Amino acid sequence: MLICIPEVLSKAEVAEFRRIMDAADWEDGRSTAGAQSAMVKRNEQLPPDSEVARKLGQRIISALTKNPRFLAAAIPLQIFPPLFNRYAASGGHHFGIHVDNAVRGDPLTGLRIRTDLSITLFLAEPEDYDGGELVVEDTYGSHEVKLPAGDAVLYPASSLHMVTPVTRGTRVASFFWMQSMIRDAHARSMIFDLDTAIQGLTERLGRDDPETVKLTGIYHNLIRYWAEV
C-alpha cells in the first residue's frame, strides 16, 4: 500500500525549513545506514542528534498527527524521530536498491520500534532537480514517486526501494519510520479502505445516518480486534 499525503507542510513552512536546513552543518548519510544500505547510499544528512533535526522533526510529527489521511493509513503507535537528507547532482548522490532495517533505535530517547511503515516528506519542488525519484517495488511492479514540496508518501518499510541519481539540482527530504498499531499490512489496508469509505459516507449522509454509525462501529471493533498497544 503506497499512499500519498498532500500538504503535510505548507509552502511557507517548507521555505522556513529550507532556510534553517541550508544554514546547518551536514554529514555523510551513511552514518545511520545499516551494513547493506551503507554500500549503496550516497547522500548527506543533518546529524540526527542535532538541535535543528530534532526541532524540525517535532514540527513534522505535530503536523502529521493532525492529518486525518495519515492517521487513517498508518494507525501509528510509535513514530521514529524524523531524519533529513539531501541528494546533490554535484556529489553524484543516489541511494541504491535496499530494504529498511526491521528495528530502529533512537540513542537519545531509548525508543525502539518495529519499522512497519516508511515515510518520505519532500522538501524540494520537483522542477528544482532532475532524477531523485523514490522508486518503491511491490507485487505490482515498480512505482516512481516525486511529489511537490510539503507532500509525503507512506509505504511499507519491507519494500525494496531506491532513490535514483540526481543529475541536476538538489533533492531535499525528511524520512523516517513508524510502528503501526495494526501489524498486519493486509489488515491495515482493509481498515484504511473502510475508514475512507466511512468518511465519504459521512460527507454525503452525515454522522447520524444509521448505516454510517453501524460501519463506524465495525471499524472500531476491527481496530479493537487487531490492535497491538
Q: Each residue of 185-228: pLDDT tens digit?
A: 999 999 999 999 999 999 999 888 999 999 999 999 999 999 99
What span, in angstroms and rounded, lies between the C-alpha atoms of 147 and 198?
27
The CATH number of 3-180 is 2.60.120.620
Question: If residue 188 lies in a helix (H) or strand (E), which one and from where to where?
Answer: helix 185-205
More confident residue, 41 or 183: 183
Question: If residue 42 lies in a helix (H) or strand (E), which one and from where to where?
Answer: strand 41-42
Does residue 30 surpass a pLDDT of 80? no
Does residue 171 surpass a pLDDT of 90? yes
pTM (global) more than 0.85: yes
Does residue 44 surpass a pLDDT of 90? yes
Average the pLDDT over each of 14-23, 78-87, 198-207 and give the range with the smallest value. Answer: 198-207
Can you give the pLDDT at residue 39?
A: 73
Does residue 140 surpass a pLDDT of 90? no
